[in-house]
Structure 1
Amino acid sequence: MRLIFPLLLTLGPPALAYPVTVQSCDREVTFGAAPQAAVSNDINLTEMMLVLGLTDHMVGYTGISGWNKLDTEMRAGVAQLPELSAKYPSKEVLLGAGTDFFFAGWNYGMKVGGEVTPETLAAFDIPVYELTESCAHIMETGKASMEDMYADLLALGTIFGVSERAEELVAGYRATLEAMRAELPPLDRAPRVFVYDSGEDTPFTAGRYAMPTALIEAAGGKNVMDGFEKSWATVGWEAVIEADPEIVLIVNYGDVTAEQKRAFLMENPAFADISAVRNARFVTLDYVEATPGPRNIGAVKTLAEAFRAE
């Protein structure tokens, strides 16, 4: 699925009656009006704002170029907006931009106990909506699900008074996935998949609460770290070798390319007996596809096809 952001930037004024209240992790957040100076952090959260046609309500974004995540499609979508901070923003950056809403998440622009949190920004009347997937860092949650991404789009629709647009998008995403599954040949069983984000001494991967678990399951596979009670975190290579994944999902971003990550696994004798390495079965998703956002739908298709490839 391709996102054509410019076609989504001509929405009319909000029709929803205020005040409105949304659930954000373990908090309820109430808005008396649609934010007019919003800031989003990270590429996937920013794309959620773009696909809902909310650039007129934004003063900028943060946390993208510092990790080399900006692709051609995204660059066109944010052309009219400034990047206020290459990595995580400070309170001063948000205040200097006149921010009246921050869309971020735990480890997506905010850190537990850090300088920028819903509590620290509340003192400056800057409400925060937290990415649902990231709630696992601060509270007990269920396993990651496609519903997490849908919930964020619907919440943003409520906050900005574009609920109809959000509901149409979510309904379209559901229909697309349902149609895709109906067309794909069934699998004899779910292939074992390991998510390789980064790291050589210890791999950074997606556990039970991270979005790739939901994407892999939607495509018919099983994350070998499904029992790892974490979101995005590090594990030991011993656990990966023992799990013997049949496919390695490489997350592509940053200074180390997907090709370099693949070469590291293929050329290291310690991994020679892993089924995915022995059979050279790899699939790559860009960071923006592997984290919650509109490109998750296309990511499921990519994975589903890879799982069924000879």
Structure 2
Amino acid sequence: MIEILTSPAFNTIQDLGRHGARGIGVSTSGAMDPVALAAGNALLGNEDDAAGIEIQTFPFRLRFQKEATFALTGADHVSTLAGLSLRPWWCKQARPGDILAIGTPRRGARVYATFGGGLDVPQVLGSRSTHLRAGFGGLEGRSLQTGDVVPVGRPPRDAARRFDFGAAPPDVAITGAGRRDDGVLPIRVMRAGEYDLFSEAMQARFWSTAWKVSARSDRGGYRLTGDKLTLDAPIEMRSHGVVAGVVQVPPSGEPIIQMSDANTAGGYPKIAAVIQADLWRLGQTAPGSFIAFSEVSYQDAVAAMAPVNDYLASLRAVADLYRQL
């Protein structure tokens, strides 16, 4: 069991998402940075989709009521366990009464705390992820609050020997996953269904602009500010299905990137879609950061997942060996 001591708004329990329910109007939810969550679980010997805590407002503090193992991944941050400094992207064993304190990230937006055995909250529609707007999943369908006590599952049998090691984060380990020299994060996209509704001038503006992630962004979507994208004539569209990564252009002309808690349908024109291999990078992009889009083919988008999958497979293999030393 863990007890939440300090938790500002919007820190939630998440796994890798609620798949297969979009047809009944339920968005996927799940970790904004699924690579970080899966990596933390791999360090501990959990299944990739074991539930952990997505921390996006700080400071965050919890107390371990029983002996437990945990890992911290995601954003580069400062943290302590029982007053002693911890490294990010590291796993550790905690004793009863130990307090884990996590401070504001130096780089990135979200820290993931995973626990040996995962957080043992009920599954709803096949997932433990919190769906804030619908009010289900996670812990009573809400953000974590001071005083909450969250159960931790039974750790895997074969993962119980050594916990004091870490891994290189993916933006270091995966070639080309970092920012440009000017601090802008490149994001790869494919053209979407209504791309050709925009004039050549608007298309060029979409590709050339360094878009700023607005402070009005959240788990539902990232609003971008910059040059406005306009259509030559207004258009009315029927609502259509959308998924995380779809870039829509509302009448304001400032794009919105759909994220984990996005609606399942919408009627704004779709100009592009972020490839799956770059969604985790967006999940670590804080408001005020700048991104720029670059076009890739479908074949390139599929191939781009190979380094991500290889990274997670290698991390798990090394962690499995290291715990047995």
TM-score by length of structure 2 reads 0.26
Which has more helix, going by share of residues?
A: 1
TM-score by length of structure 1 reads 0.26
Which has more strand, going by share of residues?
A: 2
Compare relative contact order (CA 8 Å, sep 6+) and give the higher one, 1 or 2. Answer: 2
